[in-house]
Amino acid sequence: MRRILVTGANGQIGKVLVAELRRVYGRDSVLATDIKKSAENNEPYEFLDILNENRLYEIVHDHKITEIYHLAAILSAHGEWNPLKTWNINLNGLLTILELAKKKDIQKVFFPSTIAVFGKTTPQVNTPQDVPLLPETVYGMSKVTGELWCNYYHKKYGVDVRSVRYPGIIGYQSIPHGGTTDYAVEIFHEIIKNNVYTCFLDGDTRLPMMYMPDAVDATIKLMQADAAAIQTRSSYNLSAMSFSPRELFTEIKKYFPESEIAYDPDFRQEIAAAWSESIDDSRAHKEWKWKPSYDLARMTQDMIENIKKLY
Ligand code: SER
């Protein structure tokens, strides 16, 4: 019997992933955990600080957990405000979970990595899978190291751990905090409410992005794939679309012709400038049949339709 635990379940991806996992596997098969309780009903739920190793062990045993989707982390921008705390949270939770898997207390682990693993020495256009990784944010450093630990636990102990490098994720279900790609969600809310948005990135900074349904679909597909198909045990490149703030605004303006944008780059511009523009994710296509459904136009239309309902 499959019993899933999701850490960071109230985060941007967690909320939507938990709902979809419950739709697929049944409500009681998916335990949401977080250090915050969500306003919505997200039962079954347990409070969990990912650094509390004993509590994590207890929850895994009490709920007879078989799989963990380990989403709890501090993102790129907030990570720079508190580097050591970020390192601690982003890495030590993962190591506890990998140890549980090594002891066969759980059977499968999902670890989200990110485009933040790339750095100034990485080719930026159509970035291949195996490239130099020299990130300069603590978030990126912690995720590269996490990927290496995943690969190590798989090769050395046979742990079934799977991972993707998420691009910036866009969804209407929540407003993300702490990331560098957050502008691509904020812009929709601000333009729908006020017809104007001031972007914290420069207009021409192209980044890889993905609409939430594709991110959730990729995650579940990867976890459902035959173990033999998963040849990459560090983390898979993953991609759907790439655009700059200017290109996104041009698309949104088709729906709001009166809207305006201004650019006022802050410290996040430097973070974004070191990341890739576009990603070669052919290995994910080949090994576990990944295929995105949303491009810029379709994503924009769906975001607008859904965010309009909120205001
Ligand atoms: N969305 C993340 C961030 O901006 C990237 O993984 O930090």
Domains and CATH numbers, the chain: 4-168+210-237 (3.40.50.720), 172-208+241-276+294-310 (3.90.25)
Residue 181 Cβ contacting ligand 1 at under 6 Å? yes
Cα 130 to Cα 237: distance, rounded to the nearest angstrom: 9
Cβ–Cβ under 8 Å, residues 208 and 273:
no
Residues contacting residue 270 through CB under 8 Å, at least 6 positions apart: none
CB burial of residue 74 (10 Å; 0-12, 13-18, 19+): buried
Choice from 139, 144, 219 to test ligand 1 binding pocket (greatest atom count within 8 A of CB) = 139
Atom of ligand 1 nearest to the CA of 75: 7
Cα 150 to Cα 109: distance, rounded to the nearest angstrom: 9
Full-model pTM: 0.97
Tell me which residue has its CA closest to atom 3 in ligand 1.
179
Cα 107 to Cα 28: distance, rounded to the nearest angstrom: 18
Tokens 């019993």 identify what position?
A: 3
**Phi, psi of 59, rounded to the nearest 5 degrees:** -65, -45
Cβ–Cβ under 8 Å, residues 95 and 145:
no
Q: Which ranges constitute the DSSP H helices of the chain?
A: 12-25, 53-62, 76-79, 83-87, 93-102, 138-157, 183-194, 212-224, 245-253, 268-273, 282-288, 296-308
> pLDDT by residue for the chain (311 residues), tens digit each?
899 999 999 999 999 999 999 999 999 999 999 999 877 778 999 999 999 999 999 999 999 999 999 999 999 999 999 999 999 999 999 999 999 999 998 999 999 999 999 999 999 999 999 999 999 999 999 999 999 999 999 999 999 999 999 999 999 999 999 999 999 999 999 999 999 999 999 999 999 999 999 999 999 999 999 999 999 999 999 999 999 999 999 999 999 999 999 999 999 999 999 999 999 999 999 999 999 999 999 999 999 999 999 99
Cα distance between the two ends of the chain: 42
Tokens 């994503």 identify what position?
A: 299
Strand 241-243 with 207-211, pairing: antiparallel
CB burial of residue 245 (10 Å; 0-12, 13-18, 19+): buried
Count of C-beta atoms within a 10 Å radius of residue 309:
7
Choice from 12, 71, 76, 81 to test ligand 1 binding pocket (greatest atom count within 8 A of CB) = 76
Chain-centroid distance, C-alpha 80: 18
Cα 235 to Cα 223: distance, rounded to the nearest angstrom: 13
Residue 90 Cβ contacting ligand 1 at under 6 Å? no
Count of C-beta atoms within a 10 Å radius of residue 211:
24
